Amino acid sequence: MEYTKPLAKLIEYFQKLPSIGPKTAMRLALHIVKMPENEVNNFANALIEAKTKISYCKTCFNMSCNDPCEVCSDVTRNKSVICVVGETKDLMAIEKTNEYHGLYHVLQGLISPIDGIGPDDIRVKELLYRVNQNDVKEVILALNPSVEGEATSLYLGKLLKPFNIKISRIAFGLPMGAELEYADEMTLARALEGRVEL
Amino acid sequence: MEYTKPLAKLIEYFQKLPSIGPKTAMRLALHIVKMPENEVNNFANALIEAKTKISYCKTCFNMSCNDPCEVCSDVTRNKSVICVVGETKDLMAIEKTNEYHGLYHVLQGLISPIDGIGPDDIRVKELLYRVNQNDVKEVILALNPSVEGEATSLYLGKLLKPFNIKISRIAFGLPMGAELEYADEMTLARALEGRVEL
């Protein structure tokens, strides 16, 4: 038996989303059919609304309905610090800590030679422009501890050096609650390397 | 920072879907914003179309755009066997094996006293009606090996006994590729109990 056509189509769309495999896609599609009709309509509208209304802040490239975005236009924010992240989701993760009150810069990607992504493909020159124009005192690099993140951090570190501002990188080490004996060697090595004097 | 409103709304909708947690919901919502607009429109339409066009077969309660459904109206199917499943997704799983060529009956649930689901809340009487009316020779119970599935199988077994037809249940035991030493006790116990003479 083939899936009935509208179901097959919906499963296909769900499957195109990240981290949704064929089984989950099927479960989601079947769930949609069981949902009340008005909820399905609301969901469909939410999809279209998110797509049409949300764009990127032309200053920091955060996703937002407004330009400048909520962070850039917030007068209580410390405008002398810029935290550089790879993607909007990283910005959101940092916002959730409630520990950071400066501005952001979303690179919209990381340097990855094997994927053909160079510095010109991400928002590097826009970062330099901001650092150059405004009264920025510190740039915090908060990129993933991956090959691409490291490469991008190194590259940005070099580029930003001439500006004579503080450049920092978030700490890599043991996550809270982890046990030393189960940590992988890379993490342990970075934790040792990044040891802090007491 | 709060999520920009259309994003927050979309995240909320994704999170209502089964097996989608807050992190996945955020990732999916961000992905939607990055997708080309026409693809988002197509996805939204697929949702609405699936909901409006798909209904339930009034014979076997399979999801379908047609009534009777594709299985019930397929003349090549063996109409003397009915395989009873809990949900449409179970029917689909069996169809994928390509080993079964009879009809189905989707109960649309399993008996679960703690959830307040009794025999009258699922499609039991419709099954009895079918067995009574038509020339059914065998009913195969293919319900989950769970407390609810077992209870429902037992109940249906008793109800169907007077019809003097063959009633069977799918085998429970070690899954293919499993290793005996890692099997849980319940599975091993069922595998022993269900041993087959060679």
pLDDT at position B176: 82
In the predicted structure, residue A47 carries a pLDDT above the cut 80: yes
In the predicted structure, residue A2 carries a pLDDT above the cut 70: no
The share of chain B scoring above pLDDT 70, in percent, equals 98
**Residue B13 Cα to chain centre, angstroms:** 23
Which DSSP string do the residues of B76-145 spell out, in sequence order? Answer: TSEEEEEEEESSHHHHHHHHHHT---EEEEE-SS--BGGGTB-GGGTTHHHHHHHHHHS---EEEE---S
Tens-digit pLDDT profile for residues B16-71: 999 999 999 999 999 999 999 999 999 999 999 999 999 999 999 999 999 999 99
| Residues of chain B found within 8 Å of residue A88, distances taken between Cβ atoms | 30
CB pair distance less than 8 Å for A6 and B74: no
In the predicted structure, residue B77 carries a pLDDT above the cut 90: yes
The share of chain A scoring above pLDDT 90, in percent, equals 69
In the predicted structure, residue B1 carries a pLDDT above the cut 70: no
Pair of tokens at residue A120: 């010109």
Tens-digit pLDDT profile for residues B164-193: 899 998 888 888 877 877 888 888 888 888
Confidence of residue B2 (pLDDT cuts 50, 70, 90): low
Instruction: Count CB atoms within 10 A of the CB of residue A196.
Output: 6
Q: What is the pTM of this model?
A: 0.77
Confidence of residue B133 (pLDDT cuts 50, 70, 90): confident
Spatial contact of A161 and A128, defined as CB atoms under 8 Å apart: no
ipTM of the complex: 0.77
For B103, the closest chain A residue by CA position comes to A1
In the predicted structure, residue A127 carries a pLDDT above the cut 90: yes
For A97, the closest chain B residue by CA position comes to B1
Burial of B196 (0-12, 13-18, 19+ CB in 10 A): exposed
Q: What is the C-alpha to C-alpha distance for residues A139 and A160, in angstroms, rounded to an integer? A: 9
Pair of tokens at residue B188: 């091993």
Q: What is the least distance, in Å, from the CA of B158 to any CA of chain A?
A: 30
The residue type found at B143 is L
Burial of A193 (0-12, 13-18, 19+ CB in 10 A): exposed
**Is residue B89 less than 8 Å (CB to CB) from chain A?**
yes
Exposure string over A149-167, b if 16+ CB within 10 A, otherwise e: bbbbbeebeebbeeeebeb
Confidence of residue A187 (pLDDT cuts 50, 70, 90): confident
For B70, the closest chain A residue by CA position comes to A1
Q: What is the C-alpha to C-alpha distance for residues B21 and B17, in angstroms, rounded to an integer? A: 9
CB-nearest to A10 from B50, B64, B92 is: B50
Q: What is the least distance, in Å, from the CA of B37 to any CA of chain A?
A: 7
**Average pLDDT of chain A to the nearest whole number:** 91
In the predicted structure, residue A1 carries a pLDDT above the cut 60: no
Confidence of residue B121 (pLDDT cuts 50, 70, 90): very high
Q: What is the C-alpha to C-alpha distance for residues B60 and B83, in angstroms, rounded to an integer? A: 10
pLDDT at position B197: 73
In the predicted structure, residue B196 carries a pLDDT above the cut 80: no
Pair of tokens at residue B92: 């689909």
pLDDT at position B173: 86
Burial of B149 (0-12, 13-18, 19+ CB in 10 A): buried
**Is residue B108 less than 8 Å (CB to CB) from chain A?**
no
Q: What is the C-alpha to C-alpha distance for residues B134 and A86, in angstroms, rounded to an integer? A: 64
User: Which residue would you say has higher pLDDT here, A186 or B54?
Assistant: B54
Q: What is the C-alpha to C-alpha distance for residues B58 and B61, in angstroms, rounded to an integer? A: 6
In the predicted structure, residue A171 carries a pLDDT above the cut 90: no
pLDDT at position A4: 80
**Residue A72 Cα to chain centre, angstroms:** 17
The residue type found at A136 is V
The residue type found at A35 is M
The enclosing H or E element of A139 equals strand A138-141
pLDDT at position A176: 82
